[in-house]
Structure 1
Amino acid sequence: MKYTTYFIKFFYRIRYWLILAPIIVALLVYWQTRHTSHSYSASCSIYTGIITGVNILSESGIVTTAYTQGSMMDNLLNIITADQTLKQVSLRLYARIMVYGDPNKDNTYVNAANYRLLYNHADPIHHLIDKSSENDSINEQRTYENLIAYETNDPSNYVYGIYQWNLPYVNRGALQQIDVKRVGTSDVIEVFYTTDDPGIVYQTLLILIDEFNKQYQDLRFGETKNVIAYFRAELKRIGNELANSEDSLTIYRVDNQVINYEDETKHVAALNRDYELQYWQSLNDYNVSDSIKKELEKRMHLNTEIIQNNNSFIFHNNNISDINEKLAMAKYYSKDVIPQKMIDSLYNELEANKKALSDALQKTGYLKYSKEGISNEGVVDEWLKQVIAYKKAEAELKVLNERKIYMGKKYIHFAPIGSTLTRKERLVDINERRYLAILDALNAALLKEKSIQMNSATLKVMNPPYYPLVASTISKHRLLTIASYFATLFFTIFFFLIIEILDRTLHHVFKAEQLTKSRVIGAFTRLLPLKARRFNQTYNMLSAQTLCNSIITYFKPNQNNIINLISNEPGEGKSFVMAQLVQQFTERGFDVTQLSWQNEYSAAPQAFIQSLKLNELVPLEKSNSKNNVILIEYPSLKDATSTEDILQDVSLNLQIIDSRRTWKNIDQQLFERTREMCNKTPLFIVLNYTKRDTAEEINGLMPPYTFFHKLFYRISQLGFTANDKPLQNV
């Protein structure tokens, strides 16, 4: 509670400073900034659609987390406020101002005064401003391109300094005033901009929206397009490797006449198996027929040689051998190579030659009987049969021997083809898998690109910027005035608060009690000047009454009431306070005795203290009277040191302090030593030369009793709802 009242009174004490200082400073600022231009504001809203918009990923069921969504929105905000974006806005805005600006007339692009300022400052680059075309849009683009081409990272380069220097409206500091924020948790971004030129505000936002869309697409699509280009290049390279490996496999198959290696090798194995069976069968037939033929020839003796030398026999026998050889070879060829008709013809021809051979033997009658006259007809027929079988087996063996060479070549042909084909097919498979993997990655990148395209397509301007026709509600002029008023107000409070904290002057009760760690029971005001001086006597009387009331509570019955008046330094008002107390105690019927070291003795201050005997001060007939009051004024503690007996054998001690002077460390030391010497005897403080509000803390409300005076006093006492009117009929 005491701190609350302390601060209320603190503000009351500096009330004139709080009222006058801010007003004076605000008036000065208002006068100095009376020609300040007005501020114009414009805004726009952009719907991004990143979170709630439809894209391929969301349609696929892929859900993004809240953290990812927040990061995506933060990225958009950072793109808008990025230095690269603002630099492009700066150069494009500068080019637009230079092309569309008019030095004599304001327009929707720039005010004439601002155009003249920027144009006159740009003497080194006037040749870059292109106005050759009738189409100003073309002129703007050409000027922008000229600025880009002219710019170098050189401090002396003017274009480089357009964004880096303090060139108004187009420098970094001006464009960084653009306020970009997200609307709650939605997909909407709001952009605000304020400056003193309505045309520049409007054009800046238009360029910023366009540049933001470009920068966003460059960043998003640039990364994705690079990935897509990489995958396409890899797909082309691996596709070429795949085609080369496939072509190599095809050429190898063609060169080696291999269509299906596994089936063909199985077929070769089957042919070899059939060959082995046929070979051994033919060899067996050959040996059997040869053996039987030789046995029959032994039995036939000379007839055999005659038959074998017969021209007709030889002819038909050779024909039969040739036909058997052809038929043997026909077994190993398909019907497409040797038609069935030809095979049938060979069989017919074989039967005809057999019959012709048999007929030729039948005509040789001398062969029917041997030399001994035994019939040879059965033997000759059997011999002829065996000869035919022999020739057949011989033909087949001849063909099979050729087939054996052919099968050997087949094995030699197919043996290395298998491993080579496996290696080439494995290479084709590896390249094919690589190709498919790159193709999948390319499809994923294309899907991502399409998703980004859908997202980018949702970057729509919901509320386009409008050209501001009216200045902002609070102009810069008014804003500076209001700001200066409150700044001065806070500075004044802070300044006096610092002084209040650091000040060691006991000019009010709270400060005195905080520094001295002792209680204040009385306060006398300083002499008031001018018309308030009529209350001086009243204030002294009220202060003395309050002090007497407090002192009386410490009187002890059946003994003299001695009150010591002490001070640290001379001239602090002990005599004045004693005079006021004497008057009050006398009016209240007390027998007052006053003793002052200045009036009673002419000795030195310390001698007065040493010679003082408290029990001898009152006559015997008045001793032990409860109405006796003895007031003793001592020399200052700076001049003379008090003793314990004169400080303890009294009712109470009053330390008189001039509230106008500084409470120094030595004062505190003297006061603490005095308090220790007093022991249990009360030691209180009486402030002298205080202000009225300080005296009211002890004495209560003091005149004049005006409305505002009583109102403030009630507020300082926290009596906000109090009713001070006296009750009627009580």
Structure 2
Amino acid sequence: MDYILYLFRSLYRKLVWIILGALLIALLVYLKTANMRGSYNVETTLYTGVVSGYGIEANNVGVNWAIAQNAIDNLINIIQSESTQKRVSMRLFARVLVKGSPNKDQNSITSASYRYTYDHMKNSPHGKELITLIDKSSEEKTMENFIKYEKADVNNYIYGLFYYQHPYYSRSALKKIQVSRLGNSDLLKVNYSSGDPGISYNTIEILMKEFVNEYRILRYGETDKVIEYFRSELDRIGNELAKHEDDLTKYNVENRIINYYDETKEIAAINKEFELREQTVLFAYNSSKAMLEELERQMDNNTRQAITNLSLVDKLREASSLTGKITEMETVSANNAKDEQQLKNYKDLLNRTRRELSEISDQYVGDKYTKTGIARANIVEQWLDQTLAYEKARAELEIVKQSRIDLNDKYQFYAPVGTTIKRKERVITFSEQSYLTNLASYNEALMRKKNLEMTSAALKVLNPPAYPISAESTNRRKIVYMAFLGTFLLLISFFILIELIDRTLRDSRRTRKLTGCPILGDFPYKSRTTPYSTIYDDSATRYLSSGILQFFTKREEGSPYILNMLSMEEGCGKSYISEFIEAYWNKLGLNVRKLTDGIDFQSNSSEFQLANSIHELYIPRDEDILIVEYPAMSNSNVPTPLLREAQLNLMVVSAKYGWKATDKIMLQKLEAQLGAKPYLCLNRAPRYDVENYTGMLPPYTPLRKVMYLLSQLALTENAIHWKDIWKRKKNPRKGVAEVEEDDDD
């Protein structure tokens, strides 16, 4: 707490300088801002439709606040982006030069801004060349000419217009455009201030148009690229799909395949039926062959001769041929009327041939019975029947064998065809899936583009910018106040920093903090002689004398009281202080003697360095007090017996003196010699520090009294004194004691 009060006192003592410095800076700022003009502010409100706008995308069921905030941030960043502001700068420059006039305000452009812009361009190194780029009939053509002329070169005027420090068209000027969201709504507030009303108005108006165009280019650009990619993929996959389908169709036509799966099922069914028929035909063939052999074994020679007759053989061959044809037609039938009629004719012809065979066989059979008793006619008849059955079975067997070959050929044909068709169908299926996937992505991209179109359409200027009529009030007063306050705080911080790090002794508190030694008293600094200088010296001498005399309590018989005057370096003022002390004690009637190095003793002599008592250096007399002024400790050592012999060792230090590391070391050495910390006397101390010991010093003016009380933080002392005086005047019959008693009550 004491240190805080000390800081306050230090700042209070420098308060005048702090206030004067702050006032000086404020005055300079006031003079510098004398020509400061008010700015013209233009603002507009933009509706975005990001949060509450309608969308056609599937995920537009609810509001995703993270996505909405991201979209709002994107819009704000687009408005404040360098590309957008560069186009605004270029178009604003072109508009001022095309629509402005040097003589009067027109088209929301002031003549002052036109003249400044035109003169600035004309006086540039390529001014004449730039003037030719202006097309008074078209703002768009002028802007196109400027864009073509611009190059990334430090000497290019159009390029430097945006990247240098132009007050209207530079990047630093357009950075003043402020964009903020109004709460959690879809609205964005955009405002801009400049020193020219036309510039402010046209900047915001152009910004709204360029922002919408920039937003559409960014959003449509990426969506159009995606749509173009999916469209090209659809065309490519569609062509491949058509190619694969045509290839499958061509393959089916070349191999005469209508429906592979149904046809293979039909072939499997035919194969199953064919196996059963094959077994039946083979059984009939073997049965008829065995029966025929048995009948021929039972025939006699006459019967065998009969069956080998040529006419019988011819008829038999004819019957066999007819049987084969009938069997073939019955096996493979087209089921039409012509084939049925032909089959009927073959059957009738076969019956007639069989009757003829019977007649021929009857002519050659002589005996009615064989040796075994079997009727010859029956054997021949049976033989003919079995021969015909055998021929029929053989014909059917041939047909079955041929059918088996055909069926095997079909199996050999359809087996690789199925694998090829499946492979082609897999390729077609893969192409179809790829086509459908890309088609879904393409439709989604189209929907996304349509949603972006709706979003862009929702970007609407709710409150169009209005041309400002009057300028806003300048911040000149605020700037001056801020300059004063800033300088005031800066100076306070500076002086506090100095107080914290400065190692100059300066006053008794800092001396006590840096040295750690007790302070016995101060001696005032005399920069110039005034009528009060003697009073200051006498007051300080009197207080210091009182502090010294309290140590003179015991002494040896026949020896004076000894006061050692010490210092760290030469020039600290110990001779000056000792003279005042000696003169003051002489006035009090004390017998005082002073010993000085170089006069009464030699500090560089062996006698001094080896002295065990001050009596070895001088011859005592009847003095009461002996003041010994030793040389500076930085120049010579003081023997320990001489230091410990004295009643008081007073170290004189200067307030103008900085406490260095060498001083700290010498003080530690002195402490080791004394066995305790020495007492200090601060010389050249400021008056406020001397007053801490002596009380208030003259002159006693009312202002100084108040300042003194404030410096001592006696804030209510005057109020209490005035209260006592007022009470005495009000009750003159009461004594002082009664008034004090009332105060106690």
Matches within 5 A, 1:705-720: 709-718=704-713
Deviations 1:606-651 (A, max 9, x none): 69999964997674xxx9xxxx7x3737376489876555543343
Structure 1 707/418 Cα, relative in aligned 2: closer, same or farther at 3 Å?
farther
Q: How far apart are residue 171 of structure 1 and its match? A: 1.9
The change in CA–CA distance for 1:372 and 1:686 in structure 2 (over 3 A counts) is: closer
One-letter identity of the residue aligned with 1:572: G
List aligned pairs for 1:413-432, cutoff 5 A: 413-432=413-432
Secondary structure of the structure 1 residue equivalent to 2:720: coil
- Secondary structure at the residue paired with 1:128? coil
Per-residue CA shift, 1:172-212, capped at 9, x if unaligned?
A: 23233445566788877655544323332343344444444
d(CA) in 1 for partners of 2:108 and 2:167?
Answer: 15
Pairing 1:329–2:332 present: yes
Q: Does 1:299 align with 2:303?
A: yes
Letter in 1 for 2:590: V
* Equivalent-residue separation in structure 2 for 1:502 and 1:323 (angstroms): 136
2:691 matches 1:691: no
Distance (Å, rounded) in 2 between the aligned partners of 1:551 and 1:432: 115
Deviation at 1:258, TM superposition (A): 1.7
- Amino acid in the other structure paired with 1:699: T
Select which of 627, 632, 638 maps to 1:632. 627
Distance between the aligned counterparts of 1:574 and 1:670, measured in 2? 20
Alignment of 1:32-43 (within 5 A): 32-43=32-43
* Residue correspondence of structure 1 range 189-228 to structure 2 within 5 A: 191=190, 193-228=192-227
Alpha-carbon contact 2:233-2:438 (below 8 Å) kept: yes
Q: CA RMSD in A?
A: 4.9
Alignment match, 2:124: none
Q: Distance in 1 between matches of 2:711 and 2:180?
A: 46
1:28-427 counterparts in 2 under 5 A?
A: 28-43=28-43, 56=57, 59=60, 77-106=76-105, 109-122=108-121, 123=127, 124-132=129-137, 139-180=138-179, 191=190, 193-282=192-281, 284-285=283-284, 295=295, 299=303, 301-302=305-306, 305=309, 308=312, 322-330=325-333, 333=334, 338-339=335-336, 345=341, 348-349=344-345, 352-353=348-349, 356=352, 367=362, 370-372=365-367, 385-386=385-386, 389=389, 392-393=392-393, 396-397=396-397, 399-400=399-400, 402-427=402-427
Tell me how far 1:558 sits from its aligned partner: 7.7
CA–CA distance in structure 2, aligned partners of residues 93 and 525 of structure 1: 72
Cα displacement (A) at 1:264? 1.9
Asked if 2 retains the 8 angstrom alpha-carbon contact of 1:328 and 1:395, the reply is no
Per mean C-alpha deviation after superposition, the further-off stretch among 486-495 and 249-258 is 486-495
Distance 1:355 1:601 in 2: 182
Distance in 2 between the 1:84 and 1:125 partners?
23
Please say if residues 86 and 175 of structure 1, whose CA atoms lie closer than 8 Å, have aligned partners that are also in contact. Answer: yes
Q: CA separation in 2, counterparts of 1:417 and 1:681?
A: 119
Q: In structure 2, what residue type is equivalent to 1:20?
A: L
Structure 2 CA distance for aligned equivalents of residues 410 and 46 of structure 1:
78
- In 2, the alpha carbon distance for the partners of 1:416 and 1:666 equals 111
Report the secondary structure of 1:141's partner residue.
helix
Aligned runs of 1:674-689 on 2, under 5 Å?
Answer: 678-680=674-676, 682-688=678-684
Deviates more, 1:319-328 or 1:295-304: 295-304
Distance 1:401 1:23, change over 3 A: same
Could you tell me whether the CA contact under 8 Å between 1:45 and 1:462 is conserved in 2? yes
The whole-number CA distance in structure 2 between the counterparts of 1:504 and 1:359 is 159
TM-fit CA distance, 1:252:
0.9
- Counterpart of 1:572 in structure 2 is 573
Q: After superposition, where does 1:524-563 map in structure 2 within 5 Å? A: 524-526=523-525, 533=530, 535-536=532-533, 538-556=535-553, 562-563=562-563
Determine helix, strand or coil for the equivalent of 1:556: coil
Q: Is the 8 A contact 1:292 1:386 kept in 2?
A: yes
Look up the SS of the partner of 1:685 in the other structure.
strand
8 Å CA contact retained: 2:220, 2:449: yes
8 A contact 1:205–1:465 mirrored in 2: yes
Please show how residues 14-25 of structure 1 align to structure 2 within 5 Å: 14-25=14-25
Once residues 594 and 59 of structure 1 are traced to their aligned partners in structure 2, the CA distance between those partners, rounded to angstroms, is 107
Q: 1:632 is paired with a residue of what secondary structure?
A: strand
The 1:460/1:618 distance shift into structure 2, 3 A limit, reads farther
What per-residue deviation string (whole Å, max 9, x for no partner) do you get for residues 219-245 of structure 1? 444334433432332233223222211
Residues 671 and 229 (structure 1 numbering): CA distance in 2 closer, same or farther, change over 3 Å? same
Cα distance in 1 for residues equivalent to 2:699 and 2:590:
32
Deviations 1:513-546 (A, max 9, x none): 345443333234356979xx55545544543454
2:417 match: secondary structure:
helix
Q: Partner amino acid for 1:426?
A: R
Letter in 2 for 1:649: E
CA distance in 1, matches of 2:278, 2:229: 64
The runs of 5 or more residues in structure 2 that have no matched partner are 122-126, 370-374, 725-738
- The DSSP-based 3-state class of the residue aligned with 2:169 is coil
The residue that corresponds to 2:732 in the other structure is none
One-letter amino acid of the counterpart of residue 740, structure 2: N
Q: Which residue of 1 aligns with 2:508?
A: 509
Q: Deviations over 1:380-422 (max 9, x none)?
A: 7656655654564465456445534533442343233123223
Q: Distance in 1 between matches of 2:361 and 2:312?
A: 14
Bigger drift between 225-234 and 375-384 goes to 375-384
Give the CA deviation at 1:105. Answer: 3.4
- Counterparts of 1:88 and 1:314, CA distance in 2: 109
Inter-partner Cα distance in structure 2 for 1:108 and 1:703: 76
Give the AA of the match of 2:679. Answer: L
Residues 342 and 718 of structure 1: CA distance in aligned 2, closer, same or farther (over 3 Å): farther
Kept in 1: contact 2:521–2:681 (CA 8 A): yes
Q: Secondary structure at the match of 1:725?
A: helix
Give percent identity, aligned residues only.
Answer: 33
Distance of aligned partners of 1:61 and 1:470 in 2 relative to their CA distance in 1, 3 Å threshold: closer
Cα deviation digits, residues 153-180 of structure 1 (max 9, x gap): 3444333332233333222232334455
Say if 2:329 and 2:343, in contact at 8 Å, map to a contact too.
no
- Report the TM-score when normalising by structure 2: 0.75
* Offset of residue 725 of structure 1: 1.7
Q: TM-score if structure 1 supplies the norm length?
A: 0.77
Shift of 1:368: 7.2
Equivalent residues of 1:300, 1:370 under 8 A apart: no
SS at match of 1:521: strand
Once the two structures are TM-superposed, the CA of residue 285 in structure 1 deviates from its matched residue by: 3.8
**CA positional deviation for 1:250:** 1.9
Structure 2 counterpart of 1:5: 5
Which residue does 1:136 correspond to in 2? none
Q: Residues 98 and 119 of structure 1 are in contact (CA less than 8 Å); yes or no, is this contact kept in structure 2?
A: yes
